[in-house]
Amino acid sequence: MDKLILELKEHIIEQLNLQDLTPADIGDDEPLFVEGLALDSIDALELIVLLQQQYGIKLSKAEDGPKVFASVKTMAEYITANKA
């Protein structure tokens, strides 16, 4: 799981053009929205695209989004649970 979390952090930095951050700057349980990284709704769409392109996973229900994208750790758990 640690490898996946590190990989996700690298993908998030690249996908969202967060060049001023390194993977070490992003806590595993740090909130991605509001506080924490303070991402917005456009960033949420980019994270959905990231799941589809990098991991072949589509978010099955829109209402799952806040839970899945709460932190890098919750994203990794979702990927692990849903990867074919």
Question: Which residue reads 């589809």 in tokens?
Answer: 52
Q: Give pLDDT, residue 83.
A: 83
Number of domains present in the structure of the chain: 1
28: domain CATH number is 1.10.1200.10
Q: Give pLDDT, residue 73.
A: 98
Q: Give pLDDT, residue 84.
A: 67
Assessment of whether the complete model's pTM goes beyond 0.85: yes
Is pLDDT at 56 greater than 90 in this prediction? yes
Helix 41-55 vs helix 2-15: crossing angle, to nearest 10: 120
DSSP 71: S
Quick: pLDDT tens for 3-30: 999 999 999 999 999 999 999 999 999 9
* CB < 8 Å & 24+ apart, contacts of 26-30: 26/72, 27/71, 27/72, 28/71, 28/72, 28/73, 29/71, 29/72, 29/73, 30/71, 30/72
Query: Worst-scoring range by mean pLDDT, 23-27, 58-62, 65-69, 76-80?
Result: 58-62
Domain hosting residue 28, numbered range? 2-82
